[in-house]
Chain A
Amino acid sequence: MSAISLLMGLLLLSYVGSLIIGGQKARGLPSGIEFLALGFAVGPHALGLVERSMIAEFEPLVQVALGWLAFVVGLDFGRVNGRRVRAKPMVLGVFCAVLTGGTVALTVYRFFCYVSPFGIDPTGVLLLACGAGAVSAETTRFGVQWVAVRWNVKGPVATLLVEIASADDFAPLVAAGAIFAFAPSTHVTLVMPGAGWFLLSLSLGGLLGTVTALLLRGAEGYTVWGALIGTLLLGVGTATRFGFCTIFVTFTMGIALASASPHRRALRRMVTPTERAVLYPMLLLAGAHIDARPLLENRMLIAVVALALLARVVGKLLSGFVLRATLPAARPAGPLFGIVLLSSGPVSVSCGFAFALRFPGRVGDTLLVCAAASAVLGELVSTFALKNLLTQLGEATTVPPPPLAPIKTAPSVPPPPPSFEAARTRSTSAPPGAIR
């Protein structure tokens, strides 16, 4: 397959993804692992239709896609369906992610205290443990949203879950930023401790977000997209150059932009529909990048992946207990509430992919496999557990959502650039009361 064919394939996926945004049905799987699987199937380690060199050629595109997804998460961080996430679920969402990530990281690290890590140096072991924690921390909001749309879910537990799932993206992205900061690029001439690099990457994201907000004051037409894409590319380019975590930098950028710009609502309406269009090609390339050879050569790494998954289950069960103990709305969910938090998806895979690109070899490949395995586990266990739970609680019905009436635009509205108009139409096209 030539590079141009791969590009056409990615554009086709992007096309499919952007069609799904406009749809009312929950199409595909919530974590998008089917695209991951497709990528693996066509990748160099299965059918070989896409060669490794070609994936390397597309690395800039991957970095931008990862950056864009994290930017969208940052821009919409702390909000669900246009309204602010309540403080308590927000704090608990982050805490639960830290708890799960910490459990996984500690378990993997302790494992290597008893077992010799063949071919991985002590720094690599630390990186592997912390990275496993970062890629295992998330509960994807897509899982809850998927169930919500498919079974017309409404109720306090579903709302709580989507809030927690939305808030907990913070932990893995910040953890990835911190881990990368302790291993800056070898080309950098400046010597600084890890904390300094972390602050620098944080400042880069914050500064670019603020500059974007300044640039968007009264911006018109294509200049809005120009400013967004321009700062994102500059951010991704600079972060990659320094060896920073691109997804952390752009996530920070998104938060800073949402905080500093008075146009945050319009921006969210513009940007959010692009998420799936970027996500599917990214998942395909992530799948193609999965290399299981290091794991097969060093069986110890298979044990690491299994252990990380087990620790994730324990971490999420603990999180379930914490949530039930602190939030009255979560109490009816029962003792296995943590199981429904097991779904993982784009943020985990993005983290895993970012690690695989930055630390190629055993560590990076293991972390990407870890992220993919976590998504598969979540898909097998969590989605249906969630559906069953919400049905038991009476929050899910089998009645399909009511069809939408045609949308009319107020005639007094000045003709906005079509991107905003489309964004507004899309934002109003969600079924009333449904959780997006």
Chain B
Amino acid sequence: MSGSAPHGKTWVGRGIDMLSLLILSCIMWGAGTLVPGHEGEAAVLGALGFLLLAGTLLSELVEVLGMPHLTGYLFAGILAGPHVLHLVDHASVKRLEPVNTLAIALIALAGGAELRIATLKQELRSLVVALALQTILGVVLIGGVFALARPAFVANLPFTGLVGASMLWGVLAIARSPSALLGVLSQTRANGPLARFSLAQVMASDIVVVVMLAAAITLARPLLDPGTTLSTSAFRALGHEILGSVSLGTTLGLVLAAYLKVSGGQLLVVLFALGFGATEVLHYLNYEPLLTFMVAGFVVQNFSKQGERFIHAIEQTGGVVYVVFFACAGAHLNVPLLKDFWSTALLLTVARAVVTIGTARLSSLIAKDQPAVTKYGWSPLISQAGIALGIASIVAAKFPSFGSGFRDVAIACVALNEMVGPVLFKLAIDRAKETKAPTPSLSDVEDAPPAASV
């Protein structure tokens, strides 16, 4: 954890980091070997601590290769997880899921707070074109490739069923990863046309995907099960969910802004309370936490003067939470499954990447985007993570005839996109010269003259 290049990280420093990682791994291994079969709270705490440390250390080691920190977190999880070194067992990974709740809340709050009305106005044309093309062409073309490839788990479906499954796959393919985007942006502290456009596009695509999923499930059901008829009840429920989430998010945002103005202290505790408490309430009300928190962040940024302060507080808390979130995601990755489905997953991943890049270029030409966006606008769209996995789980639950195979291949594809996507985005941000200087280190703080108190 010796900081990044500007803080003079030497090879000795990196060697010490590796040695530290080795010592920590030995402690974990020793605990697992000498106290076998202990899957209680102690194992969970140990796993949490180890993933946090290993993720941070590996992130700095992969930085040498120009990779984003997020990739280091993921690799730490994959390596330490139940499928490779087994330093962290499956039960512990499962019990760390509450961290995801907090991380998703922070990610959505940060995402919303990063969206500024002025930027959205500037980028409105580009955004509308990009979203429309990515959604329509994405679903049609990637769904088409899926139908042509006809993976084994849909081989027995009739043509109409295949169309339905392809439509669902198309929706899954247009899901992006706000967490990966924000992870890279928070590391690089990027600011520029590409960063701004990426943020707006990925955050907005989230809402589009939620709507598209409801539509796809409604349309696919009669295609896959001829006995059922088209029902619009899903849309009514969706409308209620979206409206409710936006209303509650606005209220939450106004309350947060008022709190920041009046007091603003102890934001860490407030964010924890929001992450766990508000999410619980939202689940109870059947509202969408991601959308609610995004709207809340948006309101704080655009309807108060507390936006910067708010973002700063989230970055501070989020830094640690993201490491655990992505390391857990890495530990969750089913590596054997990837081995089993690698050919299908590779074909579908490549097809998705090609369609995404092509569509992004086309939309940039139509909207006459800035050069950085035209050249690298596709790069934030490759990553996939929680939302895509969530869609896969929903499909598996709603369409049992092919759902489990669909989910397994989806997991394998998400694994590939999760590993490759952030690297490409970080590379693009670097190339577009939007990366900013790192935060000051402990040494900087030590060396700084003490604050003058009068």
Contact = CB atoms under 8 A, between A and B. Distances in A.
A407 B454 CA distance: 6
B243 interface: no
Interface residues of A, number: 76
Interface in A175-230: 185, 187-190, 204, 207-208, 211, 214-227, 229-230
Interface stretch (A12-20, A42-50, A362-370): A12-20
A223 B16 CA distance: 16
B451 interface: yes
A234 B50 contact: yes
A8 interface: yes
Interface string A222-259: 11111101111111111011100000000000000000
Given A189-B34, A230-B53, A412 B453 contact: no
Which of A211, A237, A413, A415 has its CB near the most chain B CB atoms (within 10 A)?
A237
A15 B2 CA distance: 32
A425 interface: yes
A11 to B, nearest CB: 5
B319 A189 contact: no
Contacts, number: 236
A63 interface: yes
A399 interface: no
Contact of B445 (A12, A189, A266): A266
Contact of B50 (A230, A266, A415): A230
Nearest to B448: A413
A53 interface: no
Contacts of B276: 4, 7-8, 11
Nearest to A58: B41
Interface in B268-294: 269-270, 272-273, 276-277, 280
A220 B4 contact: yes
Given A220-B442, A226-B53, A241 B44 contact: no
Contact of A242 (B35, B36, B446): B35
A60 interface: yes
Given A187-B35, A211-B24, A19 B440 contact: no
A50 B296 CA distance: 32
A242 B448 CA distance: 42
A225 B454 contact: no
A119 B438 CA distance: 62
Nearest to A60: B41
Given A237-B49, A414-B444, A14 B269 contact: yes
Contact of A407 (B27, B438, B453): B453
Interface of A: 4, 7-8, 11-12, 14-15, 18-19, 22, 59-60, 63-64, 185, 187-190, 204, 207-208, 211, 214-227, 229-238, 240-242, 262-263, 265-267, 277, 405-410, 412-421, 424-425, 428-429
Across chains A and B, which 4 residue pairs bring their CB atoms closest together, nearest first? A222-B319, A237-B46, A233-B49, A234-B49
